[in-house]
Structure 1
């Protein structure tokens, strides 16, 4: 069973650094599902149940949770509230996070208007753009300010995560302003590779690339379907594998 929230000390930096990035991504998925289970009143959950609910192999899930020192009890599983606490602590959600977004175009406006970030512990506290038609307006009660104010505003509001949703040509200069402001974690939606100091962590989200990956899977499924329709003993088959006359 996981340790109660008061037991032990914070995870040492060495342990946190030892968690593979792929496992960190899955930990976030586990936390989301556990939050849903907690809202439904669940006290415990087995590794098989949690794995099935998150689309992960049970052995992989147990390995992931072992990185944070959680092993559960055979026949009982994991205590939901304690596991939520451990995951939140590991993912840094027990500390205040503040997000700044730069680029209030179509994508940026949608991100700025999305209320789910705050509910998950990532309130958007600052918005920036260079368009005079956007600077000065309010979105969800937040004033859109000019990008030149990034260093001052981010420092004042304790911004820990910067999101860049600008065109490619403006992304690096925005990134530099974030770095100047002391922001060390950046989520980049711009189709460009950012150059940052070693201590700055950048996560890149390229929607076009993601669509291309999905297109690959569409093509692969099409090829498989065509292959399934090849002759069986000299006769073609349909999608259900039935021999056609």
Structure 2
């Protein structure tokens, strides 16, 4: 098995464009909630945090939804992007790993409002199994395959320690789940045709630290070997729990 990577998403839409579609959808939702019926590409681009040329190019991959001199119909474009992403139908989600992060994900209200239903929670810890999190009973991870089949799970969220993540991913794939969101601090290997998105919070913090260090003038390019480094950093950071 190999780690899946692709330059393009289905239907010929570039992966970089796919990554920005949720930004446009969020911006359009904010505009709609504010009562805005139409908007220009400049206004939408500013709300999404991109430049207008990039936005127009991205939307050109989906079709022509703007009107010259008028702009975009906010509700219509919001529907079309949601349809393109696949959010016009709810998708069932299982969260595997109910440590602190897993419980936070289970309680995140934003999933439901965006078309994702957390329908099951799984954990290997006997102390967690049988407890209630976000209104759902935590089930034993041994039931994973049964849960996927019974609840028509489309997306698996892996929030386990790194040591367990690959096994969980293998079982999700074996049960028919072809979309995995990985919060575990490890790279998952999956067959062709299975999509994995990795969310590495520690890496993002390290990138922020890089920029903050230079902004504040802390960076010393001549730091001698053996300078103080956090043992947690040398150990690769803490595992997800």
Runs of 4+ in structure 1 displaced over 3 angstroms? 14-17, 222-226
Measure how far apart 1:15 and its partner are. 8.3
Counterpart selection for 2:52 from 55, 58, 68: 58
Give the 3 Å change call, closer, same or farther, for CA 15–114 of structure 1 in structure 2. closer
Q: What is the match of residue 111 of structure 1?
A: 105
Q: What is the match of residue 136 of structure 1?
A: 130
Partner Cα distance (1:67, 1:222) in 2: 41
Moved more, 163-172 or 113-122: 113-122
Q: What is the match of residue 176 of structure 1?
A: 170
Where 1:150 maps in the other structure, the secondary structure is helix
Give the TM-score normalised by the residue count of structure 1. Answer: 0.82
Give the structure with higher Rg (CA).
1
Q: How does 1:69-88 map to 2 (within 5 A)?
A: 69-88=63-82
Measure how far apart 1:220 and its partner are. 3.1
Partner Cα distance (1:113, 1:24) in 2: 26
1:211 equivalenced with 2:178 (yes/no): no
Bigger RCO of structures 1 and 2 (CA < 8 A, at least 6 apart): 2
Q: How does 1:151-230 map to 2 (within 5 A)?
A: 151-223=145-217
Counterpart selection for 1:39 from 33, 36, 51: 33
Alignment length, in residue pairs? 213
Q: Which runs of 5+ in 1 are unaligned?
A: 1-13, 227-245
Give the 3 Å change call, closer, same or farther, for CA 43–225 of structure 1 in structure 2. farther
Measure how far apart 1:20 and its partner are. 1.6
Q: What is the match of residue 239 of structure 1?
A: none
Question: Pairwise CA RMSD of aligned residues?
Answer: 1.9
Measure how far apart 1:26 and its partner are. 1.0
Please give the per-residue CA displacement for 1:148-186, whole angstroms capped at 9, x wherever unaligned: 111111111111110000000000111111112110000
Give the TM-score normalised by the residue count of structure 2. Answer: 0.84
